[in-house]
Amino acid sequence: GLRTIGVITKLDLMDEGTDARDILENKLLPLRRGYIGVVNRSQKDIDGRKDIKVALAAERKFFLSHPAYRHMAERMGTSYLQKTLNQQLTNHIRDTLPALRSKLQSQLLSLEKEVDEYKNFKPDDPARKTKALLQMVQQFGVDFEKRIEGSGDQVDTLELSGGARINRIFHERFPFELVKMEFDEKELRREISYAIKNIHGVRTGLFTPDMAFEAIVKKQLIKLKEPCLKCIDLVIQELINTVRQCTLKLNSYPQLREETERIVTTYIRERESKTKDQVMLLIDIELSYINTNHEDFIGFANAQQRSAAISKKRAMPNQVIRRGWLTINISIMKGGSKDYWFILTAESLSWYKDEEEKEKKFMLPLDNLKLRDVEKGFMSTKQTFGIFNTEQRNVYKDLRQIELACDSQEDVDSWKASFLRAGVYPEKDQVTFSPKYQHEHR
């Protein structure tokens, strides 16, 4: 220990020719503070009421006269032990006092701050409870608004919260849910063919009937309902979580906190029902009338113009979907795992030596690429996913699959979502997210 002191007693009772010199010189079993020898009164001395001063003098005489201890007599005895222990206590107090003083000052400031909150509440004021209630409710409203709007002096630097999570739902998760509605072109063509034939009936048609077009379009529009409702559910859950975080300051008043959460949550649930009704109404409005004269509608007349516009757009620089660090997992025989700076666009995946983006290592076109989950290695701490070519071609050098790793599963889910936006879908028809990602967005 840092403050351990060894005490050797009964030195006067050792056999003749033996001594504890090596121990007292701290050679046999060294201690940080060394050893101190003492000679206490015997039971006979106690029964004979031997005076303490006489006992201390006898102890002093013993160490001065003993050949093995006389050279260290100044560091032996009960008096020296008492002095040493007092000195150790003094040193310990001196070392710990600054930290203790700082802690007490911090607690004092905290208490003074808490007292300031109630300095206007006079004990004899009959309206003090009402004033306190109004102040705390008003502060709750301010805190909630700051968390949603993103302002405030207390910004969480460890994770997304409040309005940032809702923004993520609107601009990332909702588009992901829409992308997940990937349709099978062959199945769609079959449905169109059946719709046209069923509308013609026994007659052989010359032109494509509008009813067939509307039937197929309406079927696709109906699929928008589920992602829209899910988006509302995710936002509502984030709002409720934000309410709970803002009521933490009301912990001193459990009933007030419970009632505040109940009232606000009930109001949010009421708005949830009306929001879903409005979204469903909007989709029903879109279903009720298909405007083929809209400027965004391609049609036969605009098909050639739209095709030329797409070709021109492809000739322009790609819009960057995501930038960030990823690890390429390669076997040790081929160079081992390395970190690179990746840039994902709508047409390619490129990686560079670093984020300065000067030295490009490789550019991978996204054509015919898909994603798949990869189990991380036994010794690996990173989460991994793979990219492969559906036509069984090499993706990178002589590799049929390139494995990319992130520090956390949340990063993997985010990258998967970015690839979905770029048109790179998972191996299976359904997009899979980690349990944590799903739990955070329920």
d(CA 219, CA 195): 12
Least confident of 170-184, 360-374, 381-395, 409-423: 170-184
d(CA 291, CA 247): 48
Question: Does the pLDDT of residue 135 top 90, yes or no?
Answer: no
d(CA 116, CA 138): 17
Domain of residue 102: give its range: 1-117
Decide if 209 is inside a domain.
no
pLDDT in tens, 97-128: 999 999 999 999 988 887 776 666 666 667 77
Number of domains making up the chain: 2
Last residue of a domain, one of 101, 117, 133: 117
What is the reported pLDDT for 225? 92
Decide if 396 is inside a domain.
yes
Q: Averaged over 65-87, what is the pLDDT?
A: 92
Whichever domain contains 41, its CATH number is 3.40.50.300
Residue 408 vs residues 283, 402, 414, 435: alpha-carbon distances, Å: 37, 18, 10, 13
Least confident of 197-206, 278-287, 298-307, 372-381: 298-307
Main-chain dihedrals φ then ψ at residue 297, nearest 5 degrees: -80, 130
Whichever domain contains 436, its CATH number is 2.30.29.30
Decide if 148 is inside a domain.
no
Share of the chain above pLDDT 70, in %: 81
Decide if 292 is inside a domain.
no
Decide if 142 is inside a domain.
no
Last residue of a domain, one of 117, 146, 179: 117
